[in-house]
Amino acid sequence: MLAVTVIAGILFTWAVLSHRLARWSISAPIAMMVAGILLTRGDDPPMYFDYDTAAVEHAVEVVLALILFVDATEVPRGAIGREKGTVTRLLGGALPLTLGAAFLAALAFFPDRPGWVLAVLATVVVPLDLAPTSAVVRDRRIPARLREVLNVEGGINDGIISPVFLLCVAAAGASHTKSADYTDALLEAVVAAGWAVAAGSAVGWAAGWLLRRSWAHGWTQPAAARLGVLTVPVAAYSLSVALGGNGFVASFVAGVCLAPAMRHLPEDAVETTDDLTALLALALWFLFGQMVNDEFWDGFHLTVVLYAVVAVTLVRMVPVVLVLHGTGMRSRDKAFLGWMGPRGATSIVFGLLAAVELPDESGAFITRVMVITVMVSILLHGLSAEPIARAYARRAAARAEAPHPGGTGGGGPAG
């Protein structure tokens, strides 16, 4: 219980100082990570968690299930329609290319590792998480269109990668057995994904229909509706697991199916679920601080650091710039979307699950690379967020001061 008290105290401290800390790009996830590093370091640390257990595996799956559900339901209303072309290019074109680039880069940096393990690694280092740099998507100095595109992509990106991650983990696990029966492993993963889609669709659609009708007829209240929404990912997760499917994929599908009904519910209907998810995700970031101590300081692995830098920069930037070619978008805007791909909670959960599901050597390798990648992302994206926002502000000011055709420097009609 002392651990809970300490974590709650750290979170409360950040809450009362959040505005001042934001000036130095210190978000809640970063604060919790730093606390985790400090409190779990040393031969006899004040706190320590054994994360290589079945209990932790289920716990992080539940956290991911809630994250995916909230992401699916909180995609800005109308944003997909307004930016359909850009979002389609990013998710349908840039995302597969990014996964492929991450895999090829892994082959170049770690040629002695099995191919399926490197495929798992690619799915671990690619998912986006805007939470560590949340100030960017709220910063009005950044053009609204770009912030909207990032919100939509961030809400759907990790849900698409999740089943790919599961397939790769199944194949990687089979590759370590003597028989190496990939067919059975992949078939089992496909069946599990099928059950997840079925459970998530049924729960999400039924819950959306019932909540929408209940609200329209005045049968419920806002607080009760918020609780009703919270039960949806829990029901989807538990039903899928009971059927032999994957819980967090089912939760994401439930969120996708529920999202249309959310337009007819109170605007804060997902608020309770969102707050609970944020709280659990912060506990995950504290655990990540311990993982930094376990992996980051265990010798200096130059190839891992170089791969991490490539994974958070070129691996995403090149595919994004390529697929957005011909859209008429400014080069600096394409570069911004390519650069702003922070890694975070989803990568942490995938890394933890891979460590549990795969043999020790492969699991430890993926965990080490994941830790370094997330740390590099926090450093690069955190430090660059404010300079990028200032650059956009300067350009906006310059355009506002520039003389209009036929006008004076003040933009008014010629005298």
CA dist., res. 370 & res. 211, Å (int):
39
70 within domain boundaries: yes
Q: What is the dihedral of CA 195, 200, 206, 211, to 10 degrees?
A: 160
200 within domain boundaries: yes
Average pLDDT score over residue span 224-228: 93
CA dist., res. 11 & res. 26, Å (int):
13
Domain CATH code at residue 368: 1.20.1530
Q: What angle do CA 346, 74, 200 make, to 5 degrees?
A: 70
CA dist., res. 388 & res. 179, Å (int):
52
Return the pLDDT at 232.
96
Express each pLDDT in 264-311 by its tens digit: 888 889 999 988 998 888 888 988 988 888 876 666 678 999 999 999
CA dist., res. 164 & res. 66, Å (int):
19
pLDDT of residue 231 exceeding 90, the answer is yes
CA dist., res. 52 & res. 56, Å (int):
7
17 within domain boundaries: no
pLDDT of residue 192 exceeding 90, the answer is no
CA dist., res. 381 & res. 68, Å (int):
22
pLDDT of residue 338 exceeding 90, the answer is yes
Helix 144-175 vs helix 115-125: angle between axes, to the nearest 10 degrees? Answer: 160
136 within domain boundaries: yes
31 within domain boundaries: no
pLDDT of residue 71 exceeding 90, the answer is no
Average pLDDT score over residue span 126-147: 81
CA dist., res. 31 & res. 39, Å (int):
12
> Which has more pLDDT, 334 or 25?
334
Mean pLDDT of the residues in the chain = 85
Return the pLDDT at 81.
64
CA dist., res. 66 & res. 333, Å (int):
31
38 within domain boundaries: no
Express each pLDDT in 384-408 by its tens digit: 877 888 888 888 888 777 665 555 5
Rg of the Cα atoms in the chain: 22
Task: Assess contact for 67 and 281: CB atoms under 8 A.
Answer: yes
pLDDT of residue 137 exceeding 80, the answer is no
The string of DSSP letters for 220-287 reads S-HHHHHHHHHHHHHHHHHHHHHHTS-HHHHHHHHHHHHHHHHTTS-TTTTHHHHHHHHHHHHHHHHH
**DSSP conformation class of 403:** P
Return the pLDDT at 406.
55
> Which has more pLDDT, 113 or 404?
113
pLDDT of residue 146 exceeding 80, the answer is yes
Task: Assess contact for 112 and 2: CB atoms under 8 A.
Answer: no
Task: Assess contact for 150 and 340: CB atoms under 8 A.
Answer: yes
pLDDT of residue 216 exceeding 80, the answer is yes
Return the pLDDT at 180.
56
Nearest to 65 by CA among 220, 238, 213: 238
Q: Which two tokens stand for residue 79?
A: 């944003």
Helix, coil or strand: residue 44: coil
16 within domain boundaries: no
The string of DSSP letters for 187-213 reads HHHHHHHHHHHHHHHHHHHHHHHHHHH
Nearest to 194 by CA among 168, 161, 163, 171: 163
The string of DSSP letters for 309-337 reads HHHHTHHHHHHHHHHTTTS---HHHHHHH
Task: Assess contact for 255 and 72: CB atoms under 8 A.
Answer: yes
Return the pLDDT at 78.
60
Express each pLDDT in 8-23 by its tens digit: 887 788 778 777 776 6
CA distances from 378 to 14, 133, 256, 288 (A): 18, 8, 29, 13
Return the pLDDT at 25.
64
**Reported pTM:** 0.87
330 within domain boundaries: yes
Give the pLDDT band (50/70/90) at residue 411: very low
Return the pLDDT at 324.
93
Return the pLDDT at 412.
45
Q: Burial-class residue 140 by CB neighbours within 10 Å (0-12, 13-18, 19+).
A: exposed
Return the pLDDT at 219.
93
Adjacent-strand bridge partners of 407: 413
CA dist., res. 196 & res. 191, Å (int):
9
DSSP H helices in 74-181: 79-82, 84-89, 95-109, 115-125, 134-138, 144-175
pLDDT of residue 190 exceeding 90, the answer is no
Query: Structurally, how many domains does the chain consist of?
Result: 1
pLDDT of residue 414 exceeding 50, the answer is no
**DSSP conformation class of 91:** I
Give the pLDDT band (50/70/90) at residue 49: confident
Residues of the chain above pLDDT 90, percent: 39
- For 358, the domain range is 53-394
Adjacent-strand bridge partners of 413: 407
Task: Assess contact for 27 and 133: CB atoms under 8 A.
Answer: yes
